Structure 1
């Protein structure tokens, strides 16, 4: 069975799908810019993707001592933050869920600073700033990476497609048509984008690449046994 993976996997990840024929095609390109420096204390920092963490700390080498309370989206993002020595106060599955949780926390603590610093990419959605605005919370955005679409037209008919971001879905559809084959998404935000175009959408059990790979095995093996 043939699976389209819309990003490059590492060896360990690839080994999870040894029973399948894989085609790995990156549908987006990430760039991190230059000389992004945080010079002042950040009281409440929000990271909604692993790429934002990589940009701020791995690429631009910002001092973790500048960052106080941290909120994030996704287990991979949480893992990267903890790996560099930062504690995560709250992790959510998507930006909307995080925004709701933040709004709830701000409403319970009237003396808290109603301001967050959001480290994000150029294609971020508006769920978080809109919900924050509705709750009187000031959002300062820092665009710390840029996502570019790199659509590739594919002639192969795949038994499943794996998506890891909403931008990956949009890029794929610029050159390829939707179909009824299973589509596996890394999280709810990606799935919402996919559901608009695909009929057979599944969400991984958690927001990690490995979980997406396990889910596609589960889905395809289940279809085979029907």
Structure 2
């Protein structure tokens, strides 16, 4: 398999960590959606990452679709999320919050970097959504009785939230008040101490 995209993307990082935890081999092509747009477009007409090229040539082009395929390869006994029931729905909600947090953080970057006159209203809306998600995740984390969200080992929920937190801290340090969110900060630190998180990492580089 070939994973396209740079690890400073929380979405690419999330997929790469899952691949490693599943023990699946892959080739990494750290292409930028700006500097390498034409190369990415040859595989994905949306020119977005992550893009995963399967061994047979099939191309998966969205984070959720990619992770769904990886879960299928791993099998229900090894998947990084519960197979069914309330625990699965809860995990999917945490993943959605983490993914949405990352999306809003990326939107803020594009708004400021690509528009000569950024929209103050849009920035305020995105920042409000970021802070709202952080508060909700902090509340959700209050009930954790295990090192990770659903047990003793990280799952998709942990990866999604930790990758979004790291990206937010790197790209928008003023929006990730760790002292005010002690449970989230501790969860992120716990994840970042794992070897796979340290291996799959890249400093954030603003779009040129």
State whether TM-score is above 0.5. no
Give the TM-score, by structure 2 length.
0.31
Larger radius of gyration: 1
Question: TM-score, normalised on structure 1?
Answer: 0.29
Structure with more contact order per residue of length (Cα contacts < 8 Å, sep ≥ 6): 2
Bigger strand share: 1
